[in-house]
């Protein structure tokens, strides 16, 4: 009480400054409280999927024999004359055989997409190829969800697969001491070198070509140099008869003749992407 009494005995000037300081303190405390309250009401965007800043989508009327292109560079993603099912394969890193459902136009209607982000993914100092590709795929997934109203889910189904096994006579490739690892795959050819388990990488590449899960059951571990060449016409199943005289081997024949491995048909659990709903986008 003595302290309060002495405060009331301040001069008018002292009282004026005391009130100014007290009001300023109250103002700061009020602002802090408002900011905290506002922050508590904001949506949590920390875990939000990355998105493009701008995107334009237009239907494409293809010309006869016109090629399709998917181009991903820096913060850009471009498609020219590409159907939505192919875009889904790129966005979710899955072969066509593992994308289930959807309307008939999914594989027929063609689209030109030009999407851009101000963040140059490929120009980062600590550039990580795997992380950059994954982020770009998530951005395309967000684009498809927003503009095509795409809703999907993943589930496991029992589907046809291939088991990669050693053929009679044994494997026909040698190990390598080469440092690092690399692989190249183009129409009718696969080349691999190194890797912690080269044959497992080969199984992954064969799955990409065949559109069916390939399980490595060879039991072969280690680093190898592998090259496989075949005629890319026969993709879905082993040939039922002898190939024409002017054609090269199918991938199944080439695998056994060139590498001493073979593919056996089987069934097994496969993760698939199920399309729940999708719609053609509105005009930009």
pLDDT tens track for 138-196: 999 999 999 999 999 999 999 999 999 999 999 998 888 777 777 788 889 999 886 67
Alpha helices in the chain (DSSP H): 2-7, 12-41, 84-92, 129-147, 198-210, 251-259
The rounded distance, in Å, linking the Cα atoms of 159 and 149 is: 28
pLDDT tens track for 194-216: 667 899 989 999 998 898 999 99
Residue with token string 């097994």: 268
Q: How is residue 107 annotated by DSSP?
A: G
How big is the chain, counted in residues?
284
Please tell me whether the overall predicted TM-score, pTM, comes out greater than 0.85 for this model.
Answer: no
Strand 261-277 versus strand 99-100 pairing type: parallel
């Amino acid at each position: 009480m003595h302290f309060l009494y002495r405060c009331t005995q301040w001069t008018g000037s002292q009282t004026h400054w005391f009130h100014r300081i007290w009001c300023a303190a109250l103002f700061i405390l009020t602002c802090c409280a408002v900011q905290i309250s506002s922050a508590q009401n904001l949506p949590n965007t920390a875990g939000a999927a990355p998105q493009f800043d701008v995107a334009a989508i237009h239907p494409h009327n293809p010309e006869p024999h016109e090629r399709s292109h998917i181009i991903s560079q820096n913060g850009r993603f471009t498609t020219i004359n590409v159907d939505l099912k192919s875009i889904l394969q790129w966005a979710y890193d899955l072969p066509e055989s593992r994308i289930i459902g959807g309307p008939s136009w999914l594989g027929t209607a063609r689209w030109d997409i030009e999407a851009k982000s101000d963040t140059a993914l490929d120009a980062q100092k600590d550039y990580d190829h795997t992380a950059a590709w994954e982020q770009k795929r998530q951005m395309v997934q967000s684009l498809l969800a927003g503009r095509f109203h795409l809703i999907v889910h993943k589930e496991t189904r029992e589907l046809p697969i291939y088991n990669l096994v050693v053929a009679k006579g044994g494997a026909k490739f040698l190990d390598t001491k080469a440092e690092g690892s690399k692989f190249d795959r183009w129409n009718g050819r696969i080349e691999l070198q190194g890797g912690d388990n080269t044959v497992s990488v080969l199984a992954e590449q064969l799955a990409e070509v065949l559109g069916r899960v390939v399980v490595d059951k060879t039991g072969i571990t280690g680093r190898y140099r592998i090259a496989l060449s075949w005629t890319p016409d026969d993709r879905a199943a082993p040939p039922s008869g002898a190939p024409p005289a002017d054609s090269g081997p199918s991938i199944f024949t080439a695998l056994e003749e060139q590498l001493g491995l073979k593919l056996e048909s089987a069934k097994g659990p496969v993760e698939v992407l199920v399309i729940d709903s999708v719609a053609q986008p509105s005009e930009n």
